[in-house]
């Protein structure tokens, strides 16, 4: 069995599972945020009306809550949702509620690794499609709708069909001017936005071993854009060290067997890859950055669970140091812990000196919520994950998806720019 | 949940692939959590211009499709964000059936929780159905679709079929079996 199959077998108490099997898995962790949380509360209310008891969660110590989409509260309704969420966590005794304005908080998928909320070998579900992100720590992680999350909160389990696994092998280390974002855009361009529909996407090979944990998180994060059920990477010493630094102990990692089977294997040579960008209006609509260099931009946005982890900010700072931005540029660290580190290490000063607006952690304009949404006809380069029509604001705005290096280089010139050509 | 068995209506053709949940319900409405009333936000940015006037060219604004209960679209319908509001909006607007060559996973699941029948059919049949102007009859119990004097069949998981036919939702079903599940769990050797 491969790692996805082994985790699902363990979680369902079976010695063996195969792709296509329907299993009932015990869930180790579940997450809701300020959009899915109120949705789940609504489902609870409906169940109460049907006489189904909802007084107790299956295990409130395994449920955690993030505030990220519309925070700091964008207006009255989102403020009320935050109050609703706080009442919910109080009522059910949920301890892990990361509240904005009260120390550590941030985008749910970023907290999932920054706070070691999810551990290798676990089954983790969340009320958000990018829950796939945390599979990079060697967990089975996937997103669910509100009703399914409500079910998990009450019962601690959920059924899955064991997915087929597509294996993506990266040979060799990515060069300095490349980031994991370039690779995942290239892969989505190759297989398409439904290329991995209800399949697992596993990454491996020497290039993945060379990658930092944060880079691996970027890969798994965007498996959602290829339709994948989950993204996953075998955990190694880098992951154990990363989690150890965050106080995590006492977990049992799962590894695939030597004779693990994969539905298909794709191979990439790191030395042959180029900085890659996704043009409007789909993540699969990719181009080599140099091939479309010079496209005029109005804005550069460095934020989100995909593109505002610490190393994403470091990459942007490398480019922005001693330079000035030519277009509106926003940088929103994805969690307070990252913001603090960026401050301590001088990154925030580099950004401010370059003319950038630095914002608080939030999903913000990535989902068109607030904090810098786009006007009609505005063209933005962004380190986020989706560029559907209207995703970041007006339905006639445009978003190009790119790595933090490319987004920062483009901020400096005001045009789409390969970082090597600055 | 209401029971769903046969649906007869003209089809509303939304002929584009990768219709994502950001288009189905734009972000500004995600803050609202009532499960009814979302129909008015369905495909909001496609239906209305920035002054709130209807965009005449958009299919849902064409009076000939008013009262349609069957939406038909391209590949990978419902991709993107996991927001269940997308399913709520489709149901509330009046669509009981969505037909496409393929669906995104989370959206597909959410349909069954909200009394919507998603049907996946071969691409050429979807294109043919999109052009049909007469009434199409979808029959869930016999798993058939009748149109233009033809009859075709479609696949669906049997437990999900039952869910829709009986108007049950997953949580209610499982909780009805709670006693059995608990006793099974107690005797099971892992």
Evaluate if residue A60 carries a pLDDT over 90.
yes
Name which of B18, B75, B109 is nearest A148 (Cβ-Cβ).
B109
The CA distance from A61 to A46, in Å, is: 24
| Averaged pLDDT score across all residues of chain B | 90
Position B30 scores a pLDDT of: 86
Q: Which of B1, B18, B21, B84 to mutate to test the interface with A (most CBs of A within 10 A)?
A: B84
**Identical fold at A3-248+262-268 and A277-421?**
yes
Tell me which CATH homologous superfamily contains domain A277-421: Aconitase, domain 3 (3.30.499.10)
Q: For residue A381, give how far its alpha carbon lies from the nearest alpha carbon of chain B (Å).
A: 19
Residues A166-199: pLDDT tens digits? 999 999 999 999 999 999 999 999 999 999 999 9
Give CATH for domain A3-248+262-268.
3.30.499.10
Contacts of A61 (CB under 8 A, 6+ apart): A95
Closest CA to A392 of A336, A400, A344: A400
Evaluate if residue B1 carries a pLDDT over 90.
no
The CA distance from B109 to A152, in Å, is: 14
Contacts of B31 in chain A (CB under 8 A): 35, 38, 70, 77-78, 81
Evaluate if residue B174 carries a pLDDT over 90.
no
Residues B131-170: pLDDT tens digits? 999 999 999 999 999 999 999 999 999 989 999 999 887 6
Q: For residue B20, give how far its alpha carbon lies from the nearest alpha carbon of chain A (Å).
A: 8
Position B184 scores a pLDDT of: 66
The CA distance from B5 to A51, in Å, is: 26
Q: Given an 8 Å threshold on Cβ–Cβ distance, is B109 in contact with A41?
A: no
Give me the mean pLDDT over the A274-292 stretch. Answer: 98
Q: Inter-axis angle of helices A310-320 and A404-413, to 10 degrees?
A: 30
Q: How much is the ipTM here?
A: 0.83
Give me the mean pLDDT over the B36-58 stretch. Answer: 91
Closest CA to A380 of A304, A307, A297, A305: A297
Decide: A330 and A352 in contact? Cβ < 8 Å. no
Contacts of A376 in chain B (CB under 8 A): 50
Give me the mean pLDDT over the B16-40 stretch. Answer: 87
The domain spans of chain A are: 3-248+262-268, 277-421
Statement: B6-187 belongs to CATH 3.20.19.10: yes
Residues A31-40: pLDDT tens digits? 999 999 999 9
Residues A15-29: pLDDT tens digits? 999 999 999 999 999
A376 versus B184: the higher-pLDDT residue is A376
| Averaged pLDDT score across all residues of chain A | 97
């Amino acid at each position: 069995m491969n790692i996805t199959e082994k985790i699902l077998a363990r979680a369902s108490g079976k010695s063996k599972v195969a792709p296509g099997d329907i299993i009932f898995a015990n869930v180790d962790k579940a997450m809701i945020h300020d959009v899915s949380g109120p949705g789940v509360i609504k489902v609870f209310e409906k169940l109460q009306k049907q006489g189904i008891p909802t007084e107790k969660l299956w295990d409130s110590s395994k449920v955690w809550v993030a505030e990220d989409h519309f925070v700091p509260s964008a207006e009255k309704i989102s403020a009320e949702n935050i109050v609703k969420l706080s009442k919910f966590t109080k009522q059910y005794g949920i301890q892990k509620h990361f509240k904005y304005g009260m120390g550590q908080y941030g985008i749910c998928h970023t907290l999932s690794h920054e706070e070691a909320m999810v551990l290798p070998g676990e089954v983790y579900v969340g009320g958000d499609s990018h829950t796939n992100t945390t599979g990079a720590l060697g967990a089975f992680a996937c997103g669910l709708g509100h009703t399914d999350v409500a079910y998990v909160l009450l019962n601690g389990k959920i059924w899955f069909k064991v997915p087929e696994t597509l294996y993506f092998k990266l040979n060799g280390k990515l060069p300095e001017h490349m980031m994991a974002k370039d690779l995942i855009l290239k892969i989505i361009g190759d297989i398409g936005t439904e290329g991995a529909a209800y399949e697992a996407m596993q990454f491996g090979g020497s290039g993945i071993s060379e990658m930092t944990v944060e880079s691996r998180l970027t890969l798994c994060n965007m498996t959602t854009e290829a339709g994948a059920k989950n993204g996953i990477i075998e955990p190694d010493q880098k992951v154990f060290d990363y989690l150890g630094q965050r106080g995590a102990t006492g977990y049992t990692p799962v590894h695939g067997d030597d004779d693990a089977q994969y539905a298909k294997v794709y191979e990439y040579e790191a030395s042959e890859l180029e900085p890659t960008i996704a043009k409007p209006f789909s993540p699969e609509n990719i181009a080599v950055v140099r091939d479309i260099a010079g496209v005029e931009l109005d804005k550069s946005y460095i934020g989100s669970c995909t593109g505002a982890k610490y190393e994403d900010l470091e990459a942007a700072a490398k480019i922005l140091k001693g330079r000035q931005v030519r277009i509106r540029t926003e940088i929103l660290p994805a969690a307070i812990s990252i913001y603090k580190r960026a401050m301590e290490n001088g990154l925030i000063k580099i950004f401010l000196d370059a003319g950038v607006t630095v914002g608080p952690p939030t999903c913000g304009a990535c989902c068109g919520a607030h904090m810098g949404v786009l006007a009609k006809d505005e063209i933005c380069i962004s380190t986020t994950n989706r560029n559907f029509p209207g995703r970041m604001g007006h339905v006639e705005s445009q978003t190009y998806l790119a790595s933090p290096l490319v987004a920062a280089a483009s901020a400096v010139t005001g045009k789409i720019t390969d970082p090597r050509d600055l | 949940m209401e029971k769903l068995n046969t649906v007869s209506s003209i089809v509303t053709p939304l002929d584009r692939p990768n219709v994502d949940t950001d288009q189905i319900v734009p972000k500004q409405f995600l803050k609202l959590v009532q499960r009814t009333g979302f129909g008015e936000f369905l495909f909001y940015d496609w239906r209305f211009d920035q002054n709130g006037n209807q965009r005449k060219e958009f299919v849902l604004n064409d009076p000939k499709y008013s009262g349609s209960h069957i939406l038909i679209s391209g590949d990978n319908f419902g991709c993107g964000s996991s927001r269940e509001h997308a399913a709520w909006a489709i149901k509330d607007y009046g669509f009981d059936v969505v037909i496409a060559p393929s669906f995104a996973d989370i959206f597909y699941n959410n349909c069954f929780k909200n009394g919507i029948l998603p049907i996946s059919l071969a691409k050429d049949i979807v294109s043919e159905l999109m052009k049909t102007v007469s009434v199409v009859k979808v029959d869930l119990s016999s798993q058939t679709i009748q149109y233009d004097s033809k009859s075709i069949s479609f696949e669906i998981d049997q437990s999900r079929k039952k869910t829709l036919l009986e108007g049950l939702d997953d949580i209610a079903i499982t909780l009805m079996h709670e006693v059995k599940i608990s006793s099974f769990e107690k005797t099971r050797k892992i």
